[in-house]
Structure 1
């Protein structure tokens, strides 16, 4: 009998977060924008991100991929849309969250210290839609394609 359980993407993020010295790409910080690099790709993909204070993402989805992310160092604020407005969730080092394929959020380093996080997506990211929140409603602003936008 085949095991049909899905992998625990947060556990995968935790395993990568536990060994930054083993990453195939050295961690770095970019003063112009958040830095990111793909660490692995199998039936899922793993990304490392670094965030200097004030750096963040736009409101976006993951193009139908589910995922998880874990804060390795620092603190990140994830904002999700609820009741027509953004709701913040503060995630300190060691905290993480899983999300489904319809999840829309933005993530920002609102702290005073740099932050690092590991993100895992399944299936691999092919596209992401960026949104605007206007009059309490999400409106698609742009669709970014893998291999073109990142």
Structure 2
């Protein structure tokens, strides 16, 4: 799905320094990113400031905690991401309005050196995330996220550390997952 509008604005929420016991050179943990995403998702004024478009997803860049990359994203009815990963970054997202469905793989996939994989039975996971619902994930997470509503927009907050170096996009036919495209930051910023 292509993204239809972009606005880059700093978040009015303070840029909190990581409280990670790992030290200042290590970015925020998955738990810290999820806490940030949930707090921002609860900021009704910020969520309401996102312009929504019936034709495609819209987004605003936010200042994430401790230099992380963060986005507020609007999802028109029936839109989704397709299968993808986050280029080795860990992250989190939380739903601010509407509901999102996440399908993911409960398997650690190699990040390099393959074009097609056959997935084992039992690796598929699915969850519905309504307002306030959130999810943290590690650096090898492969998933797709979509708004299955036929009538309502969904809005969510996403945060990643380190800032996304790339996104791999996949196609899936049954148990076969195939690398289709690699996007770099200049493709979405």
Give the TM-score of the pair, scaled to structure 2.
0.70
Between the aligned partners of 1:147 and 1:88, the Cα distance in structure 2 is: 31
* 1:53 CA displacement: 0.8
1:116–1:135 Cα change, 3 Å: closer
Alignment pair present for 1:97 and 2:135 = yes
Partner of 1:128: 167
* 1:128 CA displacement: 0.0
Higher helix share: 2
Question: Structure 1 stretch 70-79 or stretch 26-35: which is displaced more?
Answer: 26-35
Alignment pair present for 1:4 and 2:22 = yes
Alignment pair present for 1:28 and 2:42 = no
Alignment pair present for 1:118 and 2:157 = yes
Partner of 2:98: 74
Structure with the greater alpha carbon radius of gyration: 2
Partner of 1:56: 80
Between the aligned partners of 2:99 and 2:132, the Cα distance in structure 1 is: 9
Q: Give the number of equivalent residue pairs.
A: 148
Question: Structure 1 stretch 65-74 or stretch 8-17: which is displaced more?
Answer: 8-17
1:108–1:22 Cα change, 3 Å: closer
Could you list the runs of 5+ residues in structure 2 that have no partner in the other structure?
1-19, 107-119
- Residue in structure 2 matching 1:40, options 63, 74, 91: 63
- Residue in structure 2 matching 1:65, options 86, 89, 95: 89
Between the aligned partners of 2:179 and 2:42, the Cα distance in structure 1 is: 36
1:75–1:135 Cα change, 3 Å: closer
Higher strand share: 1
Question: Structure 1 stretch 95-104 or stretch 111-120: which is displaced more?
Answer: 111-120
Asked whether the 8 Å contact 2:41–2:132 carries over to 1, the reply is: no
Secondary structure of 1:118 counterpart: strand
* RMSD of aligned residue pairs (Cα, Å): 2.3
Could you list the runs of 5+ residues in structure 1 that have no partner in the other structure?
none
